[in-house]
Amino acid sequence: MAEDVTGTPGRLGSGACDVKGVPRLHHLHYHARMCGIFGYAGKRTDAGVIAIEGLKNLEYRGYDSWGIASKCGGELLIEKNIGAIGEIKSEDFSGRCSLSVAHTRWATHGGVTQRNAHPHLSEDGSIAVVHNGIVENYLELRRDLKAKGHTFLSETDTEVIPHLIEEELKKSGDFAEAVRSACMNFDGRYAILALHTKSNMLVAARTGSPLIIGVERNAGHAAASGYFIASDIPAFIKHTRVVQYLDDGEMAATNGRSISFMDICTGESRAKREIKITYRLEQAQKGDYEHFMLKEIMDQKESVARAVNQDEGEIRTIAEAIRRAKGTFLVGCGTAAKACMAAEYFFSVIAEHHVNFAPASEFKMFHHFLKPDSLLIVVSQSGETADVLEAMRVARDKGAKVLAIVNVEGSTIDRDADYTLLINAGPERAVASTKALTGQLAVLLLIAYALSERLKDGKTLLLESASAINDMLNPRFVERLEELAEKIHENDDLYIIGKSWNYPMALESAIKIQEVSYVHAEGFAGGELKHGPIALIEKGSPCIVLTGADEALQDILSNAQELKARGAMIIGVGPQKFEVFDEWIKVPEAGTAQAILNIIPIQALAYFLAVKRGKNPDMPRNLAKSVTVK
Ligand code: G6P
């Protein structure tokens, strides 16, 4: 059957359920927005406080506004605020609270107001709902509910959810069943968490955006003492490392003592495995750093070595799959897309093997070239990016296999792929991706070496490079980049050029600088300058030139000369110093791994440019860490 590349709006109504009994990814539209969800049910009495703490670890998912509802001493307390997550004002949240839901919002429907912040309540106030995603048919549902006497206080799509659950509850009297039947009426992709004060229950439902359950046990007890339900593991890892993943089309219901899982469409119960999370808690925290972005840049002292540490047999198997595939395609978004683009050069130069790169959002235009024996390699930090999931659907529909290179274990992409390689960078919290990129580059380079039957050489090179990164990221080096940022932070335009794998790194440099410092930065292939962009160069324009001790060197130095002749200030980045440089950032020589090293000082420069310009690099405007919207 020919695939429908545009997809059809996802609806968990009878249509999708009749086909397979489970709502499949390819029935759904990727419309869900970022937002962070947290919930707790259990024996603790500080459910309000832990919800706020948990929410702070999800703030990267949205930071327009936030809110909490907690059942404390029989009463449902609510607090909502605009802006970044602060402290809860009411002291009542600190004790006697054993049930809570909380939310950090990135607005889609309805402006950033206290009223529009989640949780939203049912008419009788006994049901509080937090939600990630969009109920696409909310206008229709709201009209019907209004006709039944429901009043709406916000402009959000979310508010129809508690009201509809309330209506369904009147029919069945069972809260989980009421959430389930309400879900059958929602169009779109979402994650919902609903609290019910009367039955003391939390019910979660997922059709797109992630929801993970943390199971807490007191030492020596087999029975659980409480359950956390959140959009991401760092929200509760302080309390437990035992998790259960909710899959698309599934729900979970808990009273704090036990939990049950079921299929949203059929209501059938589902068994769930418990998985132990192995990463260290401190990896998910800022430690002594002022911002996550700087911490994560510095994490690269170790994270690249972790990425390289892959099972050699697996890497060889993957190389063989690429060799045999009738067409290998590489897709990703944003920074991950730049890793894919660099890999195109790795595969060409190192393995003389052709692979096809496309940004994930463009991939479906090439679906004609996919065959059952094609291979799609998807690269993603979060493992949740909608455009990447869509590309996977397109490939799957043609019978092609999918290899995922991801950072987040258990993410949707990880679980949906035929095969996954984890880059093991540890949690990346800053919106601007840094250590995930270098991990992705390292894994892709390793595969290119395996494809050229030189895996050992590749591994040695990468481990040496990882150790060179460790040396490079010393306090003097970081200070040098801060000084450079001080010099150029008032410039409104900045240009970066590169050739070969340094070209995608020039594009990545531009993204990094744009997204955190809001300086207008543009990256070009050095050879393209003379075909247009050089017209932008004025006296003093800062131009970064990425170099390596490789065959592209002479060409890129000529391009630097062309810029210099128009008055540009040349900032050279690479292992050797040249006359044409006004400034030089020395980076250890790393041969075919040079791109991995060269991008690191630019990440730090972008960070310092943001700080010098008074911006918070961890919370860039209009952006989110993981974009689950198409
Ligand atoms: C967002 C982030 C970027 C990231 C891109 C892809 O736009 O702001 O930093 O590169 O998504 O995300 P992924 O999680 O798939 O790597």
Query: Which one has a higher pLDDT value, 523 or 429?
Result: 523
Query: Which one has a higher pLDDT value, 28 or 387?
Result: 387
Separation CA 480–CA 468 (nearest Å): 17
**Active-site residue, from 17, 20, 35, 146:** 35
26 three-state secondary structure: helix
- Whole-number pLDDT of residue 630: 62
At 17, is the pLDDT very low, low, confident or very high (cuts 50, 70, 90)?
A: low
Using alpha carbons, select from 213, 161, 240, 283 the residue that is nearest to residue 37: 213
* CA 375 vs CA 319, 369, 395, 421, 606: distances in Å: 11, 11, 8, 15, 35
HEC string for 493-525: EEEEEECCCHHHHHHHHHHHHHHHHCCEEEEEE
97 an active-site residue?
Answer: no
340 an active-site residue?
Answer: no
Ligand 1 center to 336 CA (angstroms):
7
Letter string b/e over residues 51-76, b meaning 16 or more CB atoms within 10 A of that residue's CB: bbbbbbbbbbbbbbbbbbbbbbeeeb
Q: What does DSSP assign to residue 32?
A: P
Q: For residue 605, is it left (φ>0), alpha (ψ between -120 and 50) or beta? A: alpha
- Of 625, 628, 629, 630, the one to substitute when testing ligand 1's pocket (max ligand atoms within 8 A of C-beta) is 625
Give the mean pLDDT of 223-237.
93
Q: Is the pLDDT of residue 123 over 50?
A: yes
Give the mean pLDDT of 41-58.
90
Are residues 191 and 272 both part of a single domain?
yes
Q: Which residue's CA is the nearest one to ligand 1's atom 2?
A: 625
Asked if residues 172 and 181 have their Cβ atoms less than 8 Å apart, the reply is: yes
Q: Is the pLDDT of residue 16 over 60?
A: no
Asked if residues 38 and 237 have their Cβ atoms less than 8 Å apart, the reply is: no
Are residues 252 and 290 both part of a single domain?
no
**Torsion sign across C-alpha atoms 333, 628, 264, 212:** positive
At 34, is the pLDDT very low, low, confident or very high (cuts 50, 70, 90)?
A: low
Are residues 483 and 439 both part of a single domain?
no
Q: Helix H segments across 541-593? A: 553-565
Tell me if 626 is assigned to some domain.
Answer: no
- Of 292, 335, 412, 618, the one to substitute when testing ligand 1's pocket (max ligand atoms within 8 A of C-beta) is 335
Separation CA 575–CA 581 (nearest Å): 13
Asked if residues 497 and 559 have their Cβ atoms less than 8 Å apart, the reply is: yes
Question: Residue type at 388?
Answer: V
The last residue of a domain, from among 215, 249, 278: 278
Tell me if 347 is assigned to some domain.
Answer: yes
- Whole-number pLDDT of residue 27: 33
- Whole-number pLDDT of residue 86: 72
Identify any residues that bridge with 212 across adjacent strands, giving them in sequence order: 230, 245
Ligand 1 center to 335 CA (angstroms):
6
336 lines ligand 1 (CB under 6 A): yes
370 lines ligand 1 (CB under 6 A): no
Give the mean pLDDT of 368-397.
95
Number of domains within the chain: 3
Are residues 478 and 579 both part of a single domain?
yes
- Whole-number pLDDT of residue 619: 86
> Which CATH number covers residue 290?
3.40.50.10490
Tell me if 630 is assigned to some domain.
Answer: no
Most confident of 71-80, 231-240, 316-325: 316-325
Tell me if 629 is assigned to some domain.
Answer: no
434 lines ligand 1 (CB under 6 A): no
Instruction: Measure CA of the first residue to CA of the last residue in the chain; give whole Å.
Output: 24
559 lines ligand 1 (CB under 6 A): no
**Active-site residue, from 146, 286, 625, 630:** 625
Are residues 88 and 157 both part of a single domain?
yes
623 lines ligand 1 (CB under 6 A): yes
Q: Which residue's CA is the nearest one to ligand 1's atom 4?
A: 334
- Whole-number pLDDT of residue 269: 96
Calculate what percentage of the chain has a pLDDT beyond 90. 74
Q: Is the pLDDT of residue 24 over 70?
A: no
Ligand 1 center to 134 CA (angstroms):
20
Ligand 1 center to 416 CA (angstroms):
18
392 lines ligand 1 (CB under 6 A): no
Tell me if 32 is assigned to some domain.
Answer: yes
Are residues 167 and 212 both part of a single domain?
yes
334 lines ligand 1 (CB under 6 A): yes
Tell me if 627 is assigned to some domain.
Answer: no
Are residues 262 and 294 both part of a single domain?
no
- Whole-number pLDDT of residue 101: 96
Q: What tens digit of pLDDT does each residue of 76-98 get?
A: 999 998 887 777 666 677 778 99
The residue segments making up the domain with residue 192 are 2-278
293 lines ligand 1 (CB under 6 A): no
Asked if residues 541 and 526 have their Cβ atoms less than 8 Å apart, the reply is: no
333 lines ligand 1 (CB under 6 A): yes
The last residue of a domain, from among 278, 313, 336: 278
Are residues 513 and 464 both part of a single domain?
no
- Of 33, 297, 385, 607, the one to substitute when testing ligand 1's pocket (max ligand atoms within 8 A of C-beta) is 385
Mean model confidence pLDDT for the chain: 90
pTM: 0.77
Are residues 165 and 257 both part of a single domain?
yes
Question: Residue type at 621?
Answer: R
Asked if residues 19 and 201 have their Cβ atoms less than 8 Å apart, the reply is: no
Q: For residue 395, is it left (φ>0), alpha (ψ between -120 and 50) or beta? A: alpha
Give the mean pLDDT of 295-318.
95
Which of ligand 1's atoms lies nearest the C-alpha of 436? 16
Are residues 430 and 502 both part of a single domain?
no
Q: What tens digit of pLDDT does each residue of 584-622 get?
A: 999 999 999 999 999 999 999 999 999 999 999 998 887
List, in order, residues 6 or more apart from 599 with CB less than 8 Å away.
Answer: 437, 438, 505, 508, 509
The last residue of a domain, from among 241, 258, 278: 278
Q: Give the strand order in the sheet containing 259-263.
A: 120-121, 127-133, 190-196, 201-206, 250-254, 259-263, 269-270
626 lines ligand 1 (CB under 6 A): yes
Using alpha carbons, select from 577, 573, 572, 579 the residue that is nearest to residue 595: 573
Are residues 36 and 135 both part of a single domain?
yes
HEC string for 308-333: HCCCHHHHHHHHHHHHHCCCEEEEEC
Which of ligand 1's atoms lies nearest the C-alpha of 333? 6
Tell me if 306 is assigned to some domain.
Answer: yes
Are residues 75 and 202 both part of a single domain?
yes
Using alpha carbons, select from 549, 491, 499, 554 the residue that is nearest to residue 524: 499
Separation CA 283–CA 427 (nearest Å): 6
Tell me if 628 is assigned to some domain.
Answer: no
